[in-house]
Amino acid sequence: KALHKIMWVKALAIAAVAGQAAAFAPAGGLPFGKAPALRAEASTRAASTGVSTVTMMARKPIIAGNWKMNPSGIDEAIKLGKGIAEKAAGQDKAEVLLCVPHVFMSQVIDELKGSNVQVGAQSVYFEDKGAFTGAVSTCMVKSIGCKSVLAGHSERRVIFKNDDTAVNRKVRKILDEGLDCMLCIGESKEEYEGKLAEAICATQLSKDLAGVTKEQMARVQIAYEPVWAIGTGLVCAADDAQKIHEYIRKWLAVLYDDDVAQSVRVLYGGSVSPESVDELMSKPDIDGCLVGGASLDAEKFGRIINYK
């Protein structure tokens, strides 16, 4: 009876979360049909179906580093940035992005000019200016040369209490400012163990992308970060990550259409290392990695950038 009760509670939880996601989606329900084209198949399907080759072309991967609240000073930040730029020089298979603390952004951007490494912000507020002590606006980071901003990272959601309404306002503000937005989504350990990963991702996508147009989606990337695998030593197997990425693409097809689903780049983030990157990047729906700790080591991050 106890086991039956647990299973019944889990079923109700799945139905409740899936219902939340469905409420934000177009008519047609959950996307359990055929998956959109995978990264490796894109060009072939474009030729055979007559769909726009711009939409269907292979998605160029992104390797992004999130320095979080590191390093401790500007000299170390410049040294690290230059070291990463050296490791990224000469390769063209992936775009490279470093999301650095606000106080380091301007100098790191200046130091990396002429390299193939872009600099982004880790977060912004959704107002232009005003009495918001400690906040940084999109126009501020844009004015110093920032091209991309993270939104919805799990640490912003959990530690700083950014709910989906706040994340959505940030996403829309970032896009309205003409910047690229990397939206982070993912389930907690409890949600993962409760088999809620897909429902959580669908709900976050639906809420966080509310009001974002199909045209704006050209400047959106999705980073799937299973919260339970970030800095915990726990590992999300590459095959499991691929399944979630494929589901994310299906849900984007429901929210928008097949063109958007096939063109949006979906990254994986969760204790990515030089040892795990090759298998992750071999998966057809994984279009890059959002890297935390390993991006603070130029040697390790260089190996990730130059995945095989």
Distances (CA, A) of 248 to 1, 288, 300: 35, 15, 28
Catalytic annotation, pick one of 155, 191, 225, 246: 225
Dig out the tokens for 291 from the structure.
């890297």
CB 99 within 8 A of CB 64: yes
153 is catalytic: yes
Q: What is the distance of C-alpha 88 from the center of its chain?
A: 20
Tokens of 148: 């991309």
How far apart are alpha carbons 52 and 39 in whole angstroms? Answer: 15
Catalytic residue among 153, 187, 191, 246: 153
CA distance 203 to 16: 10
Is position 279 annotated as part of the catalytic site? no
Question: Among positive and negative, which fits the CA dihedral 166, 168, 171, 175?
Answer: negative
Active site residues: 153, 225
